[in-house]
Amino acid sequence: MGVLQVQDLAWRAAGRLIVSGVDLTVAPGRVTGIVGPNGSGKTTVLHLIAGLRIPARGRVLLGGEDVLALSPRERARRIALVEQKAGTNLDLTAREVVALGRHARRPRWGRPDRDDAVDRALQMADAAGLADRSWATMSGGEQQRVHLARALAQEPQVLLLDEPTNHLDLAHQIGLLQLVRSLDCTTLVVLHDLDLAAASCDELVVMDAGRVVASGSTAEVLAPGLLEDVFAVRTSVRHEERLRVLWHGLAESSPRRDAG
């Protein structure tokens, strides 16, 4: 399993740079969180890493190989993305949605063997009870668990998660992040909840206005001064049985926001 390296990444749309100068490195098996205000470029970075967008500058290397040089099949065997908003209009059951994740792992010719990976993935995502339910009738949180199962069924080296907990109840939020930590995957996860990020990420990357403004170990990065600057919120950071971020209210003013 190779290291994930993002080097000097930039992407342009509608005549403006949406992200630029983005560098990050995720070691095999580590969980790195990306945090930042709305519109700061987090989803764009995940899409660039997944090879869904072509960078204006820079590159993404997985184990030293440029992800854009990989065939779509090879990319799907190595990288799985759970999108923030992902729907399908097709009338599929949850099991059929998860089976889509096996596409790149099936033999190209001949009948596929019975594939236990779909059941395993459904169980890991606590979605086995949903297997025969219609995708279209599921709640947001149920759909989110099935999407995670689809990504797990890919058996990827790199797991990219875009706000994977935003529809989940608290037990499933904690369960998902514990699961992610237990996987043998290199994981990059976008989170809005700084306390969940504190509890579950080895490293953090903070984005603001399309740039990385801080990165490093979670304990180093989560400093109230930086959080006030970037998020315009007053916080305190506690080292209790785990690292915790508590918010106290909006900041009076923020130099970074006021400048923007």
Ligand X SMILES: Nc1ncnc2c1ncn2[C@@H]1O[C@H](COP(=O)(O)OP(=O)(O)OP(=O)(O)O)[C@@H](O)[C@H]1O
What residues line the site for ligand X (CB under 6 A)?
13-14, 18, 36, 38-44
CB of 54 to ligand X, least distance (A): 12
Q: Tokens 């596929």 map to which residue?
A: 112
Token pair of 168 as six digits: 């989940």
- DSSP result, 143-171: HHHHHHHHHHHT--SEEEEESTTTT--HH
14 vs 54, which CB is nearer to ligand X?
14
CB of 182 to ligand X, least distance (A): 26
Distances (CA, A) of 29 to 149, 155, 187, 255: 19, 13, 7, 36
31-35 and 203-208 strand pairing: parallel
Q: What's the CA angle centered on 142, arms 139 and 147, to 5 degrees?
A: 125
186-190 and 16-26 strand pairing: unpaired
CB of 115 to ligand X, least distance (A): 33
158-162 and 211-217 strand pairing: unpaired
131 vs 201, which CB is nearer to ligand X?
201
CB of 231 to ligand X, least distance (A): 11
18 vs 177, which CB is nearer to ligand X?
18
CB of 210 to ligand X, least distance (A): 7
96 vs 231, which CB is nearer to ligand X?
231
52 vs 136, which CB is nearer to ligand X?
52
